[in-house]
Homo-oligomer: A and B are copies of this chain.
């Protein structure tokens, strides 16, 4: 198999997932800023025009970063990054979705409606972006209250795909840019721990 990928929040999720599994697979670099995913031949690979794309040896493709991660988890279960047992897996699913929809989601809307890069995707609404900045701050406050129980990771005591979704949010925060407020002590402690992991990417300055 080979991975078509570039530097983006969703691309990072697969890159970090592979690094945390200790896996290396061939990567075909995709020039996202140059618009490569929105042109042929990439569109034939993924008509949705997005990375990451995992191309399997039988020629079929998987898209959606979490689906690609779940495929890798199925082939290489250790260390488990989607939780263990019915309840453990459900808790990771719950936190992965919470991070994705409630924290990353608002910030992603900010980027979609503020970045010149996304202008070609359709109309941008500055007032909506401002409201989503406010939703993002509220979500960070909620997350900080939840994580103030002393847990080390988003879903509990073990690093999981929910932390990886959080790392994608941190990458997006780097790009927007927004700085996580110092008073969110639990979230800031988690942010430092995530950025100290060997799987955290080296970012262009």
Contact = CB atoms under 8 A, between A and B. Distances in A.
A172 to B, nearest CB: 16
A85 interface: yes
Nearest to A73: B86
Interface string A63-86: 110111011011100000000011
Contacts of A48: 102, 142
B142 A63 contact: no
A193 interface: no
A91 interface: yes
A56 B91 CA distance: 12
Given A71-B87, A87-B71, A128-B128, A93 B66 contact: yes
Interface in A118-138: 122-123, 125, 127-128, 131, 134-135
- The listed residue with most B CB atoms (<10 A of its CB), out of A66, A68, A71, is A71
B123 A127 contact: yes
Nearest to A94: B67
A87 B61 CA distance: 10
Nearest to A60: B87
Interface of A: 47-48, 56, 62-64, 66-68, 70-71, 73-75, 85-87, 89-91, 93-94, 97-98, 102, 122-123, 125, 127-128, 131, 134-135, 142
16 contacts: A62-B87, A64-B97, A64-B98, A66-B93, A67-B93, A70-B86, A71-B86, A71-B87, A73-B86, A74-B89, A74-B90, A122-B131, A123-B127, A123-B131, A125-B127, A125-B128
